[in-house]
Structures are given as C-alpha cells and as structure tokens.
Amino acid sequence: MFEDWAGEKALKFSPLPESGSYREYYRISGPGKVAIGAYNSDKKENRAFLGFSEYFFKQGLPVPEIYAADEEKKIYLEQDLGNITLYAWLTEVRKQSGFTGELTGIYKKVIGELIRFQVAGGKGIDYKLCYPRADFDKQSMLWDMHYFKYYFLKLAKIPFDEQNLEDDFQSLADFLLEAGCNYFLYRDFQSRNVMLLKGKPYFIDYQGGRKGALQYDLASLLYDGKADIPESVREELLDYYIQEINKVIGVEPDIFRRFYYGYVFIRIMQALGAYGFRGFYERKDHFLQSIPYAIKNLDYLLQSHDLPLKTGALKDAFHLLIRSEKLLNIARTSKKLTVCVNSFSYQRGIPVDVTGHGGGFVFDCRAINNPGRQEKFQHLTGMDKEVREFLDQEEEMRVFLENTMKLVDQTVKKYQERNFASLMVSYGCTGGQHRSVYAAERMAEHLKEKYDIDVKLQHHEQDFLLPEP
C-alpha cells in the first residue's frame, strides 16, 4: 500500500509505541516519503475514523490526511504527524520550568480547535458512522459507570451498596442529559491524542466520537490524569473556554459550570475503569501509575465542587477510594524491572520503545570486526555457535561488552531502587545479523544471571524485516 501510494520502495518499517487500544501503528519510510500505517481488526471503528477524518480534513480541521485505505484488510495509511504529543511536550517543559505561560498558551490553542470540532465540525458530520453508539446518551453513560464499577471498584476491592450505587448511576446520567447534547463529542480528548507539529496542534484517535455535550471533552482535557494540570490553570482554561464558546454560541457560565463538573466526575470514573481494566486485569503496570493522579483529582473535586446532586452511595465509594493507602501507593509499589534487549539493523532504524517509558541505551557495534565479511559466516547469525566462537576471540568485542555492561548495570541498580518498570537496551550493526545479535544475546545472559529482573530479548531484523517482492 505504501509503495503504491508513494511510488517508491519502502525501506524502513518500525512499530510505534503501544497505546491504550489494540490498534497497531508503524512508521513506514522510503527515500523521499513517510507515512503511518495502521492495522485495526475492528472494521466499524475503522469506518468511523476514516469517515470522520475525510470530513474533518475537508473542513480544514487539523487532522491527519488519509492517503490510502483497504477496508477488507483493515489497514490504512495516514499522514505522519511526528512523535511529539502534547503530553510528551508538557512533561519535558515541566521538568525544566514548571507549568509555564507557554504551556497555558498551547492549551488555549488546543481549546480553540476543540470548539471548532464541537460546533462547526459537528454540524455536517454523518453520525451514522459513530461506533458503538451515535450519541453519548444514557446507555453510553451507564456503560462508563459500570466499567468503573466492575473493572475498578470490584478489582480494587472497594466495597459498595450495589442497588444504591445503581440508583445513583441512574440519577447522575439523568442530570447530565439535561445539558445540551447536540455537539460533536470527541470522546477521548486528552493530551496523548494531541500531536504538536511545528508548534501547531493536530488531533488523532477520534474514532469514538459521537453526539454529546460540550462539557465532556473539556473535562477530559483539563482532568487528564498524568498531565496533572495545576488547579489555578484549570480554572483559567475553563474561563477561557467559556469566553471563546460564547463567541460562537451563547452559554450561561454558571449553568455551564454546574454541568461541567458533573461531566468531570463521569470522565474520571471512565478513566479509572480503563486503568483498572488495563492495569489490574491485563497486568499492564504503567496504567496503574495513573491511579494516584485520578484519586488526587477526586479528592479536590469533592472538597471544592462536589457532585451536583444527591448520590450517597457513589460519594461513599469515592471517599473510600481517597482513603485507600493501597491505591494511593500503587504507583510506588515495588514491581520487577523489565529490561528489553534488542538487536537491530541501522539500515532499518533504531527500535522504538513500545512501553511509553522512554530512555535507555543504544550501542553501535559497527566499529567491531564484522564476521559477515567472511563467506562461511554470511548465512549464520550471532546466535550460531560458529559466530559466537569467532566474536568470543575478538578483543574489541570483549572490551565493548564490558563497557556497555558497566553502564547498563549502573542503571539497572538505580532503576530497581526507584521501582522503575522498564528499561530498553539496543545493539545495532549494519545488517542486524551478526555483531548486534551476539552482543544482545550476551547482554541478556549477563542480566539474567546477575539480577532478579525480567529480560525480554528481541532481534528486530528477524521480526520486522520487510519481505522481498
């Protein structure tokens, strides 16, 4: 598909980090062009994303251009918007300077575009494309609240009164539906779904969009867990949104705010349900690290804004969450470190960290004598006995491995002390066949022998090699 679209050979094919979905993304590049290739087994979700993308792009909204799609194969090509998400940029800036005015300015740009999506973008959209429902209606709200109940409260062992909690769910949904619900609701409008390209925000992952209330997406953005926006900035951005939406449609600020905080609560419940499902149920530890942020937000809300109606059982569950030492400390709970050791070919590119953690080491083996130059080794790899014996005798390789092992050892010890979850170590050479494979094998053996950690070994030249035509 890439070669048909680009009119040139695909030279590199690299997986992108996993997200909260089951979709798979790959960056594909040739001599002059690059695109993102996506595979998603859910045809209806693909149809929604592609249909929305076509409509939004025609409206001049900042979304990726779709280059090609094959509905039957469940694949499509889209514009590459780079690697910088709003969340990644926010995290990096805050490390250096805190939550600066520059960050607030970017959020105001994002809010301005959000209003365009909600109002102008939502006017002519085909809501028949929506999946699984065309509206964020009572059924959708109850799905989210049950997600929270079954995948978070139950798995976190938080007690609750089943019938009273169900009654509260019904009451909260009825209240939220009193807000105007005739706008495009992006559904997952959070900092990881906003890309920054040359200082301009672009938007992805809106395939869950449907008709709904204005407040939901704003709540999703401003109470995005690990983004951890300061409360004063949240208030400033809420005021800014109300000011800007009033330029397009009239809203009563006090009424808007009342419904807004109701939508903040249901959004946090939905997020906790997702953290519980991915973390407790699927055992993906990095989702658990978002739980303390959500609990911190709940604590603040209950003290400062509270639920806008009587919901005793739900409030009781929230208060138990807030007081749960187990949940508050979950991100600091000791987990076994996982080190992913890779070999790769520089001709095809450095492996991407799919954990979302970032960091780690990339070591270049190309200065070491290459056994691949000898005909007897050309069809073997660094896992074969003959190649291993050859490289075992190479003094350059011995010194190289000793030095890289010292660096990695230092980091592994510190990561274990700080309860970090993952580290990536990659060795590259020209073809990814001999030297890098040998080095990765030796590093994996060393780590398994020396530390109580999980070691995952992956040889990317074998796993991600493009097939010959």
Closest listed residue to residue 57, CA positions, set 190, 189, 181, 206: 206
DSSP 28: E
**Taking a C-beta distance cutoff of 8 angstroms, is the pair 324, 156 a contact?**
yes
Beta pairing partners, 68? 77
Q: What is the pLDDT of residues 161-189, one digit of tens each?
A: 999 999 999 999 999 999 999 999 999 99
Please give the backbone phi and psi of residue 112, each rounded to the nearest 5 degrees, phi first.
-60, -40
The mean pLDDT value for 86-110 works out to 92
426: pLDDT strictly greater than 90: yes
Question: Residue 186's pLDDT is what?
Answer: 95
Q: Which long-range contacts (CB under 8 A, 24 or more apart) does 381-384 make?
A: 381/433, 381/434, 381/437, 381/459, 382/343, 382/433, 382/434, 382/435, 382/436, 382/437, 382/438, 382/439, 382/440, 382/441, 383/437, 383/438, 383/441, 383/459
| % of the chain at pLDDT higher than 70 | 95
464: pLDDT strictly greater than 50: no
Taking the alpha carbons at both ends of the chain, their separation in whole angstroms is 13
Pick the last residue of a domain from 298, 313, 332: 332
Beta pairing partners, 443? none
Residue 414 counted as domain residue:
yes
298: pLDDT strictly greater than 60: yes
User: Are residues 130 and 183 part of one domain?
Assistant: yes
User: Are residues 305 and 444 part of one domain?
Assistant: no
Residue 468 counted as domain residue:
no
Q: Residue 310 sits in a domain of what CATH number? A: 3.90.1200.10
Higher pLDDT, 418 or 193: 193
323: pLDDT strictly greater than 80: yes
Question: Residue 356's pLDDT is what?
Answer: 58
Mean pLDDT of the chain: 92
Question: Residue 355's pLDDT is what?
Answer: 67
Percent helix, strand and coil across the chain, each rounded to 5? 50, 15, 35
User: Are residues 309 and 255 part of one domain?
Assistant: yes
The mean pLDDT value for 416-429 works out to 88
Residue 318's alpha-carbon distances to 199, 269, 302, 435, in angstroms, are: 39, 10, 9, 55
Residue 469 counted as domain residue:
no
Question: Residue 465's pLDDT is what?
Answer: 43
**Taking a C-beta distance cutoff of 8 angstroms, is the pair 259, 178 a contact?**
yes
Beta pairing partners, 342? 426, 458
The mean pLDDT value for 409-423 works out to 86
Per-residue confidence at 420, pLDDT binned at 50, 70, 90? confident
H or E segment at 362? Answer: strand 361-364
Question: Residue 20's pLDDT is what?
Answer: 66
**Taking a C-beta distance cutoff of 8 angstroms, is the pair 47, 129 a contact?**
yes
User: Are residues 161 and 121 part of one domain?
Assistant: yes
Closest listed residue to residue 77, CA positions, set 86, 65, 68, 88: 68
Beta pairing partners, 15? 26
Q: Is the pTM of this model over 0.85?
A: no
User: Are residues 138 and 272 part of one domain?
Assistant: yes
Residue 49 counted as domain residue:
yes
Pick the last residue of a domain from 44, 78, 112: 78
* Strand 194-197, strand 338-345: pairing: unpaired
User: Are residues 100 and 12 part of one domain?
Assistant: no
User: Are residues 268 and 239 part of one domain?
Assistant: yes
User: Are residues 430 and 296 part of one domain?
Assistant: no
Distance CA(190)–CA(203), nearest Å, equals: 10
Q: Which two tokens stand for residue 6?
A: 């680009």
136: pLDDT strictly greater than 50: yes
CA atoms within 13 Å, Cβ hemisphere of 191: 20
H-only helix segments in 276-394: 285-288, 291-304, 312-323, 325-328, 385-392
Higher pLDDT, 396 or 83: 396
Q: For the chain, how many structural domains are there in total?
A: 3
User: Are residues 129 and 222 part of one domain?
Assistant: yes
**Taking a C-beta distance cutoff of 8 angstroms, is the pair 428, 365 a contact?**
yes
Q: Residue 61 sits in a domain of what CATH number? A: 3.30.200
User: Are residues 368 and 420 part of one domain?
Assistant: yes
User: Are residues 294 and 147 part of one domain?
Assistant: yes
Closest listed residue to residue 84, CA positions, set 182, 180, 168, 201: 201
Name residue 159's amino acid: P
Closest listed residue to residue 221, CA positions, set 237, 242, 200: 237
Question: Residue 467's pLDDT is what?
Answer: 38
Please give the backbone phi and psi of residue 203, each rounded to the nearest 5 degrees, phi first.
-125, 140
- Containing domain of residue 270, as a range? 86-332
Closest listed residue to residue 144, CA positions, set 122, 172, 118, 178: 172
At a CB cut-off of 8 Å and minimum separation 6, what does 25 contact? 15, 16, 36, 37, 38
Distance CA(97)–CA(95), nearest Å, equals: 6
How many beta carbons lie within 10 A of that of residue 306, not counting itself? 12
Pick the last residue of a domain from 78, 111, 144: 78
H or E segment at 46? Answer: helix 43-58
User: Are residues 361 and 448 part of one domain?
Assistant: yes
